[in-house]
């Protein structure tokens, strides 16, 4: 805890190096965000959305009244039958509030009193790319700034030696599934300096992190100064904002040569901390490694830390894939929450968990007593949030008896984004950027802060 306090003191909020004036709009509850994006679409009814009555309806056709105008993907649109596939996982109540969780989430169950489960998320996109793009940029159309870039633009950086926005990717034991495009952490039409910096999942996280043999740091500094002088001359001649971005990126890269080696050196982590994250905590590119790295980035003043973990696209044998994904992620996710809490950081760190949509209650393919597949489902799914001024130990929103549609307190993607910005002290309607003749914002013309989940 003392170490975390020292690190925070070294990087005060006043060290905003790039954001516009006048922000934050009001006192923030969170200083940073760690977004654990579960790419592929976790099955809500196999994890959080307990529907015990569906066991009696095993194999029955889902009533047409439940799916009056349901869009289906090409993977199930030709099916003749849509039988109910209840979850095969056992659910139990956990925590003081008695939150229902399935058995693969045994680690999260120990921290559930710090978590708010949102059961009523919904979106309009049914395929992976537009759905993930919507969550990351507020639009299904590629080319908009990502959420981390908006935060970087609005609040700047707390640490001049590290990016304000870092993206981390990992794969589990399940099939990786859909690709992750750089635009998911891109700056869109914002100035280039606000793009996320992706740390590689193998070898050195940043290419050219170390100087070539025989090149001293002082010589590198002289080379950079000369290059910056030429760039400034070009920028003054053409008035091109991309030149200023180039200069800033070179300078940041130079400083990262000093800051990143210490950041990725886990030798100072106590054995009990490494054990808490699990056996893969020191394996570069694994989910557990990225969770621990996220905590270290948060300690060092990085504003927005985005983890992408693939493998949730369970069209076939969903139970096997969900169990494998939870084995890869549940322990490390919970360790991150516990680690932040023990260091006194959870109170001002907003942790968000969820994917781009949910899964269908009807079976994709052949249904047996132990095996079922699930197709994409945008109408309702589950997310959770913790820390950063979020009320823990509660569930928000409800779905219908089949986990097909939202029945109570719907939360759209734009509502989630508005809430994340709000916790950072940003009015989502006021954070705008003028482009092609109009003002744009992350939430477009939509979004309401979900006030009932705020502490």
Of 329 and 64, the structure prediction assigns the larger pLDDT to 329
* Residue 421 · residue 441 · CB < 8 Å: no
Q: Residue 286: its pLDDT value, please?
A: 96
* Residue 168 · residue 305 · CB < 8 Å: yes
* Token pair for 135: 């969550």
User: Is 90 exceeded by the pLDDT of residue 220?
Assistant: no
Q: Residue 69: its pLDDT value, please?
A: 67
Each residue's pLDDT tens digit, 115-158: 999 999 999 999 999 999 999 999 999 999 999 999 999 999 99
User: Is 90 exceeded by the pLDDT of residue 10?
Assistant: no
Q: Residue 19: its pLDDT value, please?
A: 56
The answer to which of 27-36, 171-180, 319-328 has the lowest mean pLDDT is: 171-180
Q: Residue 175: its pLDDT value, please?
A: 74
Q: Residue 156: its pLDDT value, please?
A: 93
CA–CA gap between residue 123 and residue 144 (Å, rounded) = 17
User: Is 70 exceeded by the pLDDT of residue 222?
Assistant: yes
**Mean pLDDT across the stretch 177-197?**
93
Of 113 and 21, the structure prediction assigns the larger pLDDT to 113
The answer to which of 213-227, 249-263, 430-444 has the lowest mean pLDDT is: 213-227
User: Is 50 exceeded by the pLDDT of residue 13?
Assistant: no
User: Is 60 exceeded by the pLDDT of residue 268?
Assistant: yes
User: Is 50 exceeded by the pLDDT of residue 9?
Assistant: no
Each residue's pLDDT tens digit, 43-54: 999 999 999 999
Of 189 and 222, the structure prediction assigns the larger pLDDT to 189
Each residue's pLDDT tens digit, 304-318: 999 999 999 999 999
């Amino acid at each position: 805890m003392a170490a975390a306090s020292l690190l925070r003191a070294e990087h005060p909020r006043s060290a905003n190096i790039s954001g516009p004036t006048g922000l934050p709009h009001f006192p923030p509850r969170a200083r940073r965000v760690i977004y654990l994006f579960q790419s592929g679409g976790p099955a809500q009814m196999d994890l959080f959305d307990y529907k015990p009555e569906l066991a009696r309806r095993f194999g029955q056709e889902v009533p047409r009244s439940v799916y009056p105008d349901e869009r289906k993907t090409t993977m199930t649109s030709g099916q003749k039958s849509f039988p109910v596939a209840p979850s095969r996982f056992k659910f139990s109540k956990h925590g003081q509030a008695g939150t229902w969780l399935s058995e693969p989430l045994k680690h999260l169950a120990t921290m559930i009193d710090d978590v708010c489960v949102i059961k009523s998320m919904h979106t309009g996109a049914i395929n992976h790319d537009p759905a993930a793009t919507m969550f990351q940029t507020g639009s299904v159309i590629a080319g908009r700034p990502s959420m981390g870039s908006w935060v970087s633009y609005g609040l700047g950086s707390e640490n001049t030696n590290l990016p304000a926005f870092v993206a981390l990717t990992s794969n589990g034991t399940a099939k990786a599934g859909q690709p992750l495009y750089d635009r998911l952490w891109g700056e869109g039409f914002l100035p280039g300096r606000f793009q996320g910096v992706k740390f590689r999942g193998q070898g050195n996280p940043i290419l050219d992190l170390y100087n070539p043999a025989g090149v001293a740091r002082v010589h590198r500094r002289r080379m950079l100064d000369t290059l910056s002088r030429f760039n400034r001359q070009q920028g003054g001649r053409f008035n091109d904002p991309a030149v200023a971005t180039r200069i800033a990126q070179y300078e940041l890269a130079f400083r990262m040569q000093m800051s990143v080696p210490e950041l990725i050196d886990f030798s100072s982590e106590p054995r009990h901390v490494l054990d808490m994250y699990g056996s893969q905590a020191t394996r570069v590119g694994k989910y557990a490694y990225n969770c621990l790295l996220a905590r270290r980035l948060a300690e060092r003043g990085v504003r927005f830390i985005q983890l992408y973990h693939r493998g949730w696209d369970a069209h076939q044998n969903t139970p096997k894939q969900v169990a494998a994904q939870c084995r890869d992620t549940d322990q490390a996710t919970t360790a991150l929450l516990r680690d932040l809490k023990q260091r006194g950081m959870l109170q001002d760190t907003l942790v968000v968990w969820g994917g781009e949509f949910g899964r269908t209650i009807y079976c994709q393919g052949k249904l047996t007593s132990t095996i079922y597949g699930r197709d994409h489902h945008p109408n309702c799914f589950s997310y959770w949030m913790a820390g950063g001024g979020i009320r823990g130990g509660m569930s928000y929103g409800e779905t219908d008896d089949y986990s097909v549609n939202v029945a109570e307190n719907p939360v759209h993607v734009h509502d989630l984004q508005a809430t994340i910005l709000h916790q950072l002290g940003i009015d989502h309607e006021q954070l705008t950027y003028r482009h092609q003749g109009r003002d744009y914002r992350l939430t477009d013309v939509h979004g309401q802060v979900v006030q009932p989940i705020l502490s």
